[in-house]
Amino acid sequence: MPTEKSGKISIVTGGSRGIGRNTVTSLAARGVDSIFTYHASRAEAEQVVAEAKQAGAKAIAIQLNAGDVASFDAFVQNVKSALATLGAERFDYLVNNAGNSHKNMPFEKATEEELDRIYNVHFKGVFFLTQKLLPLMNDGGRIVNISSGRTRFSSPGGAVYASMKGAIEVLTRHLTVELGPRRIAVNTVAPGAVATDFSGGIVRDNPEVNKRVAEHTALGRAGLPEDIGPMIASLLSDDNRWINGQRIEVSGGMGM
């Protein structure tokens, strides 16, 4: 049964797959309309639009390379058009979720090319896309930046990726202070290992990796997108309006 409309609008980057997709549909179940981005697959994006509609909310997909800062001005114009389609001029929630697959690369062998590739999407892109979108965000809005459990527990080959996520956690804390006068709350959600197609689907499709993750997780299995999306949707809701500047790990107790 469709949910009653909340009147809220979210922007979710990387919303066509995995955690982002489940976030869009979880928000739709709460009556929140979404503008979400996809990188390559329009077909997958259209499936998310249909799922949101089935839940009783609207969703609009816009193509975006989250690591191409030069394209952000055009993206903002597309967001303005999408907002007009939704009958609004501003939005309420921003979920910086888009990511690119990363290689587990020992520090000694890490290349400048790989570091820049991860940096452009996971930090630089988040920094400047948030900056560009802030004028369109309602006062009292909320931002969720996606980090990783790997900022807490360490493993070989994670220096490049985890360092960028650590930078996102620091950025989150500073944004809480700078955006406080507008009553915009900013938090970080840090998933543990999740069975998606991220990084070639290594957790989802490699039985040995999946088993190893389960053995190191207190609740005994790898995470799923549906473990994360509803939590993000809940964090954005008024029920959690007083949570601000926090890193919230959603990992089932991984690496305890």
Active site residues: 161
d(CA 189, CA 248): 5
d(CA 191, CA 219): 14
Query: Which amino acid would we find at residue 4?
Result: E
How many C-beta atoms surround the C-beta of residue 100 within 10 A? 18
d(CA 46, CA 50): 6
Contact between 79 and 53 under an 8 Å Cβ cutoff? The reply is no
Return the structure tokens found at 120.
Answer: 């452009």
d(CA 92, CA 5): 14
**Alpha carbon of residue 256 to chain centroid:** 24
Q: C-alpha angle with apex 95: 93 to 96, nearest 5 degrees?
A: 140
Return the structure tokens found at 83.
Answer: 């907002």
